[in-house]
Chains A and B, each alone.
Chain A
């Protein structure tokens, strides 16, 4: 590791996660486990129509039911909101955003849009009362198709007069007209359309909320299954007009998010508003079907991509046109998702300044979309990696060879890309070579020769995907240039207690990642203590008041680095105390293994434990030095972090049934130095499965009227362990030069790389049958249809 000398060798060990015993035994408490005496239960009546005028809401029968405390329509709560539901990412000056309240007023705009709600003394009574609310709707024509939305044939929101939210362009040319000239002069060019289907995040724990008021003091505590307690606090305060200092947000054990809990939801605002109004605690737990309808969806793009290449296959221009599906409203960062991928449509390849990206995002009558694991980057990686395979086929060379010809060379790092972004470090050839060895790339190509003969019942295919994960969101100034409504820093406090136990306070908000384990390892390494002597405090704004939470693979490369920097500050202070005690110059002291030693005089030493106790008693501190050992850091990273790698997938396709069998999956990921390789492997495994799920299983399907056809997990096919292959992980380590730990993020890499690897493998298997593309998810029926279409047969 590229660490200081103060190493105890903790970093890089495969320590078991300290979080797991509580999670696995049921000791951990999730929001809906919290005992809250006297809590009222919220239930939300949701629109059964994708688009309908709300003519009347009669709550009287429901209000008269046993156990029911109150029933509200959207209009009844109009005075509860200081502002509409927040969108924190106005990507352009003229972006259109329809006014959106926690309960719809006047018009419902997707199936699942809240129309009325019930408070009752039990969840059962609340649910039963929903059936007694009488809503008169006037159904209106729904807009489901993105190109139909773009046409404004039917305008969903009268108040903004168009379905177009914004158009965002990124055109980079050495000289005007370069992209057009490159395509005119190209030896080879390809053009393809890819559909990023809508996905349902389906975290293991549904959303849950509990708001507990203090009626006389005015304080409010909000428990939520959220990945952003700090952001939620600010946004809830603003939206409800609650003074921020009177609001405390706690995220107890949180069972996964994948971006879906990076939001401010109607039910959170309803619980707080109604707790404030009634003076009683109010709680709500999402059902799985509500989750499928009313928690944000991911992806949802139409991608048109064109590549131009010279006679050697080297890229000379990239042109991309996106249509982004915002859904019915803009949620917290909905419009920004396509932008997070906008810089990555040239992948890990050298490209001259000949890049033309444009995204137009539209409203539809479907569940709002927002960030979902990878957010913009899986989409971009899919498009360029599929298009590279198409280009290789056009040229007639091996797709891995085409990639090698285009890789940014290792010696070019740090590399300033044509977009102006600086990629911190990379070695694409090494990762690709390792992956090729692990999967026996050459051997597979030879097997294909003998197996993929005409009439073969099963055809073998191999898919390659290389990627960059622009992550570790992010330098605040860069976020400012993208009009993002917050910074990208992270806060940390490191506190040495009198007995040399250490408390770390972090602004990250883990919801399954293992931060307590990883952060304790960083502190142990820096401070020369055991990880068991380090406690990690988080996810409660009363304990950890500052933070920007967990998303975008930012926690380690921003929050973890902040912790290391706070450790440095503590060590500096401790060094002054030790020097004073040892009657030495602080500059002559060395710190390693938890002990300060005078350089050249090994017998003159003082352990950190003794320093900590001196700092606590303050009996004999240097003049002017404050008691106690504690330091705080807020770290704003100088750059994104740029993990990269190569994934390869080996499939066998049954040409009779269209069934895809993933025989082998190899993931080589380089996330710089690894704090805990066990956690890294876990992130890669989970990410690969989620990306593979997009390729093979998952799709939020709507009918033409806007009814969600996949409202339960019987129809929405989240794969189980029995449905996915064993995953072999390999790693190269190219430390990031931008932070002292040399680390990069890893939370989204698997999701980014795996989807195109799987589809490339399927298309590779079927290329001999004339198949050039297979839409996602590549279900057996879909693959069978693709084969038939290529063969000119029945569909």
Chain B
């Protein structure tokens, strides 16, 4: 009996320790998620009328909404454009600054600087690069005798411009993770493979890259979440235009909720985003985690 009580007490003790985190998570993550899910099943009530339950009608609307599909396609291109590129560049930069080179500390700092800048500030800088007449890129093109491009105004170029800026911003951040991982690889591994005349290329693919897999997986998930989550630069650069050419899912949610005041439709899109992210993350973990070596 006494043992039972002490066991109970331990359980209570453990539950109490979990409570603060659980309360915070529930209040700011789980409750809003559930509220969003419920919201997505209603139509907004106008002029003080209560919201009307409509079941899956919002989802029906979503499927028929060509703008949504346009935005979803944009976001897919945006993800495919930013994730592999920024990871590859991050890895390249990390390998470069991990080697012995003069002024290594300075180069590392330079690579990391874009990460320290707030997205809004970075976007403002890039506004000057992209500006049609006075922008840096067009000035450079002009100096070469080429006619300028309307980087943010041309629907066929605008999304690429946004992607380039995002890659610039993210690569330095991911580089830090790769650099930390590279430094945890013992130098003897390189020496042991040097003794067998292993080429650098072969060493990278047979040893370095596999040992970096946990980092790659982490960075991949982060990059994916960022591709959907971070839309600050759109407010500065394009506001989703021209003609939705650079509109991304979260920005579209924002537009629906705060420009068109269609909260329930915004909730519907949010639920879809959550579902897609959950599925992709699960698949990534299921496939890559098994092949990843954790030290």
Are A and B associated in one complex?
no
Chain B contact residues, CB within 8 Å of chain A: none
Chain A contact residues, CB within 8 Å of chain B: none
